């Protein structure tokens, strides 16, 4: 996970975290322990890996999460794909998997917050039949789908 975070561009970090967290902040031990050992009653993570040709080792290329909202039958999605693999359909595939998990879990609504300038993620959501609209209060785009 540390190696994956070190490959992300400032733009990818900004789009995912709505700010510029340093690699050290994103890979702090306490944070990694929390995100790598999920409470599956509350949060589910999917990690996409590939085998590196040079080292023959597996490397993480994307992480997708579905986080249940306490007290509601809703869940928020979060997704980040390494820069090298963006624009190739991996984000769409992972979001489809999250939608399937949401259905299996009986979730009624899945939503995500997207920065207005993140046109790629907005396009992915629209292609998967999310409603995407501007939230003036939060100053973000909100993608939402009813399952």
Distances (CA, A) of 21 to 2, 8, 10, 28, 114: 13, 11, 9, 11, 17
pLDDT of residue 55: 83
Q: What is the mean pLDDT of residues 48-52?
A: 90
pLDDT of residue 136: 93
Range scoring the smallest mean pLDDT among 38-42, 83-87, 93-97, 121-125: 38-42
pLDDT of residue 17: 86
Domains annotated for the chain, with CATH where assigned, are 2-146 (3.40.630.30)
Q: Is the pLDDT at 113 greater than 80, yes or no?
A: yes
C-alpha–C-alpha distance, residues 33 and 35, integer Å: 6
Share of the chain above pLDDT 70, in %: 92
Closest by Cα among 14, 88, 9, 78 to 47: 78
Q: Is the pLDDT at 115 greater than 70, yes or no?
A: yes
Q: Where does the pLDDT of residue 34 fall: very low under 50, low under 70, confident under 90, or very high at 90 and above?
A: low
Please state the pTM of the whole predicted model: 0.86
Q: Is the pLDDT at 35 greater than 90, yes or no?
A: no
> Which residue bears the tokens 């789908």?
145
């Amino acid at each position: 996970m540390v190696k994956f975070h070190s490959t992300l561009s400032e733009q990818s970090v900004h789009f995912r975290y709505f700010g510029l967290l340093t690699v050290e902040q994103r890979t702090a031990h306490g944070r990694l322990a929390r995100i790598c050992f999920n409470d599956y009653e509350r949060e589910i993570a999917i990690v996409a890996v590939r085998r590196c040709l040079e080292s023959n080792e597996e490397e993480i290329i994307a992480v997708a999460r579905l986080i249940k909202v306490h007290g509601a039958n809703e869940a928020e999605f979060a997704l980040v794909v390494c820069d090298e693999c963006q624009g190739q359909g991996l984000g769409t595939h992972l979001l489809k998997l999250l939608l399937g998990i949401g259905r299996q879990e009986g979730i009624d609504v899945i939503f995500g917050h997207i920065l207005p300038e993140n046109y790629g993620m907005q396009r992915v959501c629209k292609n998967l039949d999310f409603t995407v609209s501007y939230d003036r209060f939060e100053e973000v785009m909100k993608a939402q789908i009813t399952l």
